[in-house]
Chains A and B, each alone.
Chain A
């Protein structure tokens, strides 16, 4: 319940308390930066980081990079999560599907997602396709896994109820299986989005070429621009945080019964 109440209405004391550590850190940053105790190449002053995305000609490209990365993430996520959901439904709804796909899926899943990069660049080069495929892959596995698990974990009690009531296969799916699996599926979507985001930046960072937050980071590093690197990292974190926060409230809205099991 407390999880849900955090996301609706005014920020609670608990979420305000969560702001304490970031505030202290930023304060420390400002103080240390202004004393000049630390080399500016290691720790740029806070004020500079705040102004770079707006005033610096190189820093301003972060917005274009962010837009490009978000577009890439959304496209890759749509492909990957869509395919993942299909796989998950196939494995979770049909025993045949699970026997057919399950073993290969489990085997392929063992490959750390970043290990795909050499293979993908060999197949697709280092342009947009390779990045998209990589993002899609990053989203596919968590989506498929959570969908399958949600369906597999539908309580036997509910399955029995469906057969006692002789629900049609369609109603059985829409009224019983899907709602029961929904919390797990929503979590799957969230994890898929997060890993699509990490995958997007990772692919950009590893493959280079074009625009994106990852490439923005690479450029900052190559030019020894600590301020730009930090701006890139902050952009990365903010998007991740927003995904998280959105899903907490989505979960509360879509799955209102989860907070109070009956």
Chain B
């Protein structure tokens, strides 16, 4: 089992010092992400989801516990991880192309190869015609897609997404959800995505990590073993949604033996890939 885990988060705790007072933001976070798995992290605002992604991407190494990527403890940002921030963070002075190319800056690709990779990734997020545009000329959804292309261009093994669709209207959102799934399936990239939206989590992921705040802890892990494409109106889809909702609102930690089809589920089990 362990060998297939790309990301292994073990007993991770994070404490910020605010006004000389320690503030525990994450406590004893424990979960794994398998190769090519799509994991979503859900929880109310302030429970440390962004902080967790920051730790995984390597922006902050002052934490307790271990975050292992392929068995190695994360100590710095690396090419194997890409991140799409909550705000897209495209640089306004660079064109979309240049922004995406920035993702390959640290590589030793030739200019021609960079150009080709940029074009391919813009194509992937359906922005092929907007390479020359500047970020302020894009809609919110297009900017998020450009940010996704920038994160993908260096071919990371794991893509971290911090509420990438949070600020979008429901139509654009549904469209981008399908696009994310397509990228996930086509690119064979592992994804860890933070979201506030239960339906989105159930629609996209193989496994949902439910967190609770103050301090941020994992309340439970809900596997989603539905085949793709998923039907949001289907009974089993709604059943999973209900379980996530129940684990979010109820006080006691989630109990897993209420799973449908009475499949044995361990809290940290690997969800089966859709096929």
- What is A's interface to B at a CB cutoff of 8 Å? 157-158, 160-161, 163-168, 171, 175-176, 179-180, 182, 255, 257, 260-262
Chain B residues near A165: list those with CB within 8 A.
77, 102-103, 105-106, 150
Whether A168 lies near B94 (C-beta < 8 A) is no
Chain A residues near B83: list those with CB within 8 A.
164
Alpha-carbon separation in the docked complex, A179 to B57 (Å): 25
Alpha-carbon separation in the docked complex, A106 to B31 (Å): 51
Contact among A164, A175, A182, A261 with B59 in the assembled complex (CB-CB below 8 Å):
A164
Whether A171 lies near B105 (C-beta < 8 A) is yes
Alpha-carbon separation in the docked complex, A164 to B177 (Å): 24
Chain A residues near B102: list those with CB within 8 A.
165, 167, 171, 175
Whether B143 lies near A262 (C-beta < 8 A) is yes
Could you list 19 A-B pairs, sorted by A, with CB under 8 Å? A157-B87, A161-B91, A163-B59, A165-B103, A165-B106, A166-B77, A166-B78, A167-B106, A171-B102, A175-B94, A179-B91, A179-B93, A180-B93, A257-B92, A257-B135, A257-B136, A261-B92, A261-B136, A262-B138
Whether A262 lies near B90 (C-beta < 8 A) is yes
Whether B59 lies near A168 (C-beta < 8 A) is no
Contact among B58, B59, B89, B135 with A158 in the assembled complex (CB-CB below 8 Å):
B89
Chain A residues near B79: list those with CB within 8 A.
166
Whether B77 lies near A163 (C-beta < 8 A) is yes
Q: What are the interface flags for B222-236 relative to A under an 8 Å C-beta threshold, 1 for contact and 0 otherwise?
A: 000000000000000
Chain A residues near B92: list those with CB within 8 A.
257, 261-262
Alpha-carbon separation in the docked complex, A235 to B77 (Å): 57
Whether A175 lies near B91 (C-beta < 8 A) is yes
Is B256 located at the chain interface by the 8 A CB criterion?
Answer: no
Whether B57 lies near A166 (C-beta < 8 A) is no
Is B134 located at the chain interface by the 8 A CB criterion?
Answer: yes
Contact among A163, A255, A262 with B135 in the assembled complex (CB-CB below 8 Å):
A262
Alpha-carbon separation in the docked complex, A262 to B133 (Å): 12
Of residues 52 through 91 on chain B, the ones whose CB sits less than 8 Å from some CB of chain A are: 57-59, 77-79, 83, 85, 87, 89-91
Pairs of residues from A and B, 7 with the lowest C-beta to C-beta distance, nearest first: A257-B92, A166-B106, A262-B136, A262-B135, A179-B93, A260-B136, A262-B92
Chain B residues near A167: list those with CB within 8 A.
102, 105-106
- What is B's interface to A at a CB cutoff of 8 Å? 57-59, 77-79, 83, 85, 87, 89-94, 102-103, 105-106, 134-136, 138, 143, 150
Alpha-carbon separation in the docked complex, A171 to B93 (Å): 14
Closest chain A CB from B136 CB (angstroms): 4
Q: Which residue of B lies closest to A163 (CB)?
A: B77
Alpha-carbon separation in the docked complex, A167 to B94 (Å): 15
Closest chain B CB from A237 CB (angstroms): 34
Contact among B85, B93, B134 with A161 in the assembled complex (CB-CB below 8 Å):
B85
Whether A160 lies near B59 (C-beta < 8 A) is yes
Q: Which residue of B lies closest to A255 (CB)?
A: B93
Chain A residues near B85: list those with CB within 8 A.
157, 160-161
Chain A residues near B94: list those with CB within 8 A.
175, 179
Closest chain A CB from B135 CB (angstroms): 4
Interface centre among A165, A255, A257 (most CB of B within 10 A): A165
Chain B residues near A182: list those with CB within 8 A.
93
Alpha-carbon separation in the docked complex, A157 to B77 (Å): 15
Alpha-carbon separation in the docked complex, A164 to B82 (Å): 8
Chain B residues near A157: list those with CB within 8 A.
85, 87, 89
Alpha-carbon separation in the docked complex, A12 to B77 (Å): 50
Alpha-carbon separation in the docked complex, A158 to B102 (Å): 12
Alpha-carbon separation in the docked complex, A262 to B144 (Å): 12
Interface centre among B77, B87, B105, B138 (most CB of A within 10 A): B105
Closest chain B CB from A258 CB (angstroms): 8
Q: Which residue of B lies closest to A172 (CB)?
A: B105
Alpha-carbon separation in the docked complex, A261 to B10 (Å): 40
Closest chain A CB from B197 CB (angstroms): 23
Whether B106 lies near A257 (C-beta < 8 A) is no
Interface centre among A163, A175, A262 (most CB of B within 10 A): A262
Chain A residues near B106: list those with CB within 8 A.
165-168
